Amino acid sequence: MASFTRPTLLRQAGLAKPAVRTNVVRAAAFQTSSKRPAFISPGPQKIQGGVNDPAPVPEPNAAHGSYHWSFERTLAASLVPLTIAPFAAGSLNPATDAILCSAMLLHSHMGFQQVIIDYVPKRSHPGLHSAFWWALRLGTLTVGLGLYEFETNDVGVTEAIKRVWRA
């Protein structure tokens, strides 16, 4: 009968054997804390203002709110047909390739932009935030120029994917 009842019920009824306590320290298999230093330090811990000061309310801006979110989702959803269309239709149109490359580049730029905003806060790490921001701009420009050169002077992205797939 004891094997069919839950141990909590046995403890409540007083039928369970008392637990034997030992002085053994057990470590969890997957510990959540780490002794290593953080990649980015938490930054200066300073409080601005007083206890009774209201929270600052930013100026309303539609470009940073719902329109921005809607544009990101529309761009992400448009990548699905843009990726499938050149292969399904069988045409290797340079205009379709250019639209696909532009959409991928813009989608990647906006995604990395959100990573920088989330993980390298400007108020605690202004120098590092600025460095990451400029690195993102330089990387986006470099990849854009590389895609342009690949599209105009080589076979293009869609044809390259087809050749790799058949190899």
State which CATH number among 1.20.1300.10, 3.65.10.10, 1.10.10.10, 3.40.190.10 fits the domain covering 94-166: 1.20.1300.10
pLDDT at 105: 96
For the chain, strand residue ranges (E) read: none
| 3-state helix/strand/coil string of 40-81 | CCCCCCCCCCCCCCCCCCCCCCHHHCHHHHHHHHHHHHHHHH
Q: Which residues are annotated as a binding site?
A: 107, 119
pLDDT at 145: 97
Our CA angle for 80, 82, 84, nearest 5°, is 70
pLDDT at 94: 82
pLDDT at 122: 87
pTM: 0.64
**Domain ranges (residues) in the chain:** 94-166
SS3 116: helix
Q: Which residues are annotated as a binding site for heme b?
A: 107
Cα–Cα nearest to 106, from 140, 156, 148, 149: 140
Q: From first to last of its 167 residues, what are the pLDDT tens digits of the chain?
A: 555 555 555 555 555 555 555 555 555 566 565 566 566 666 667 777 777 888 778 788 766 777 888 889 999 999 999 988 887 776 667 888 889 999 999 999 999 999 999 999 888 889 999 999 999 999 999 999 999 999 999 988 888 888 898 88
Q: At what angle do helices 157-166 and 66-89 cross, to 10 degrees?
A: 50
Q: At what angle do helices 66-89 and 94-119 cross, to 10 degrees?
A: 140
Using CA atoms, how far residue 131 sits from 43, 88, 106, 141, in Å, is 16, 42, 20, 15
